[in-house]
Amino acid sequence: MDDNFSSFSQITDEEFKFIKDLMYKETGIFLADHKKIMVQSRLNSRARMHKMQNVSEYIRGLQADRKFFQSELTELINRITTNKTDFFRENHHFEFLKDTFFPSVEEKALKSGKKQLRIWSSACSTGEEPYTIAVTCAEYFMHKPGWDIKIHASDIDTNVVQTAQEGIYKADRLEPVSEALKKRYFLKVKDLSGKNQDTYQVKPEIKSMIEFHKVNLLETPYPIREKVDCIFCRNVIIYFDKPTQKKIFENFEHVLKDRGLLVIGHSETLFGISEAYKFLGHTVYQKKPKI
| DSSP label at residue 288 | P
Regions of the chain where pLDDT drops below 50: 1-6
Give domain limits for the chain. Answer: 13-80, 91-287
Confidence at residue 83, expressed as pLDDT on a 0 to 100 scale: 66
CATH architecture of 13-80: Orthogonal Bundle (1.10)
Confidence at residue 197, expressed as pLDDT on a 0 to 100 scale: 67
Catalytic position from the list 42, 46, 118, 234: 42
Report the alpha-carbon distance of residue 275 to residue 89 in Å, rounded: 27
Confidence at residue 194, expressed as pLDDT on a 0 to 100 scale: 59
Asked if 124 contacts 154 with a C-beta cutoff of 8 angstroms, the reply is yes
Confidence at residue 74, expressed as pLDDT on a 0 to 100 scale: 81
Among 157, 171, 94, which Cα is nearest to 127's?
157
pTM: 0.82
Catalytic position from the list 48, 118, 155, 234: 155
Domain 91-287 has CATH 3.40.718.10: no
Catalytic residue check, 42: yes
How confident is the model over 80-106, as pLDDT tens digits?
A: 876 668 899 999 999 999 999 999 999
Report the alpha-carbon distance of residue 88 to residue 104 in Å, rounded: 22
Confidence at residue 3, expressed as pLDDT on a 0 to 100 scale: 41
Asked if 88 contacts 176 with a C-beta cutoff of 8 angstroms, the reply is yes
Confidence at residue 8, expressed as pLDDT on a 0 to 100 scale: 59
* Fold match, 13-80 / 91-287: no
Catalytic residue check, 155: yes
Report the alpha-carbon distance of residue 153 to residue 257 in Å, rounded: 17
- Where b means 16+ CB within 10 Å and e means fewer, 124-163 reads bbbbbbbbbbbbbbbebbeeeeeeebbbbbbbbbebbbeb
